[in-house]
Structures are given as C-alpha cells and as structure tokens.
Structure 1
C-alpha cells in the first residue's frame, strides 16, 4: 500500500475545494490513467489560453470585457497547472531517493 507521503494529488478537488488524493501502487490503474488524461487536457487548455492571451495583449481592439474574461480563464488554468506541478513534483520526490532537485 502507498505510504502517506506517496499519495498522488489528483487534478480535481473535492467538496469545499479540498484536495483529492489517490492511494495506489498501480500507476497504470483506472484512476491514475484518468488523472493523467485530465492533466493532459489541463495542460493543453493552458497552452491554448497562453496563445490567446498573447494575441489579445497585442491587439488594441481587445475590449476590457474580453480581457476580463480571458483573465478569469487564465486564473482557472493557472490553478489547474499549479495542482499538476505540485502533484508531479511530489511524484518525482517520492520516486527519486536523492529527494527533490532544487
């Protein structure tokens, strides 16, 4: 069984925006594959939003409402990506006996 420091932070939150964790030795199990798929989608969304933001900033015709909407979407994407980075950082730290490479 997985030890507490090897729990995988999942790319979604539970009730009250509390983090959800996966405790499993099976890195190819259904829940692990589902989490991997959701993380890939979140990363893809972040790339698309970054491209959209670069275009919007360079376009003088972008309205304030469009920028507000974009900032809201970017904020959500950043939250998702930080969760992915935290999860993957923990996975790396537990799989490398030397600890995190900071």
Structure 2
C-alpha cells in the first residue's frame, strides 16, 4: 500500500500547496516539516499572546490592531494547514 501524500507546512512561491510522498516518517524532509510545524505552532502562541495584549490595551491605535490582526491571520493559516496535514496522516494511517 502506498503511503498518503503529506501536506507540507509551506507553499510554492505561487502560493500552491506542497506535498511529500515518502514511506518514512523519519526521512530528512519529513523531519524538517515536523520541525517547521513546531516552530509555526510556537510562533502562533506568541502571536496570540501579542494580539490579546493589543486587544486589552484601550489605547492601542489602528496600526497596532491591524498589525496584530495581520499576524494572527497568518498564524491561523499556518495552524489550519498543520491541522489538515496531521488529520490526513491520522486518517491515512487508519486505513
């Protein structure tokens, strides 16, 4: 049985998804993707904390709010990609 394609945590320069076909979860590229996913999740936690701080600051101006929202949407995009990737691997392993 062929292993399912893994959605990678990055895109092409044109914004298209990248996939990995491998039979080993320990391949060099798989481990790099794992590391990047962890870095993206860590970054998302920091962005969330920053966005909460901006929202709690009644003196925060439009630029601060827009910056926080921009970073938050980028992080949410990363987290959703990771969730889809991991969900695909879970359902792929159960078949």
For the superposition of Structure 1 and Structure 2, which TM-score range results when normalised by the shorter chain?
over 0.9
Q: Deviations 1:37-82 (Å, cap 9, x if unpaired)?
A: 0000000011111111111111112111011011111111111111
* Secondary structure, counterpart of 1:28 in structure 2: coil
Instruction: Output the CA distance in 1 between the equivalents of 2:51 and 2:71.
Output: 10
Structure 2 portions without partners, runs of 5+: none
**What is the CA-CA distance between 1:15 and the residue it aligns to?**
3.2
What is aligned with 2:91?
Answer: 93
Q: Which residue of 2 aligns with 1:37?
A: 35
So what's the TM-score if we normalise by structure 2?
0.94
Q: Which runs of 5+ in 1 are unaligned?
A: 98-102
The 5 Å alignment of 1:15-94 reads: 15-94=13-92
Query: Given the two structures, how large is their TM-score scaled by the length of structure 1?
Result: 0.88
Q: CA RMSD in A?
A: 1.3
What is the CA distance between 1:96 and its match in structure 2? 1.6
Aligned residues: 95
Q: Would you identify which runs of 4 or more consecutive aligned residues in structure 1 move more than 4 Å?
A: none
Question: Counterpart of 1:76 in 2: which secondary structure?
Answer: helix
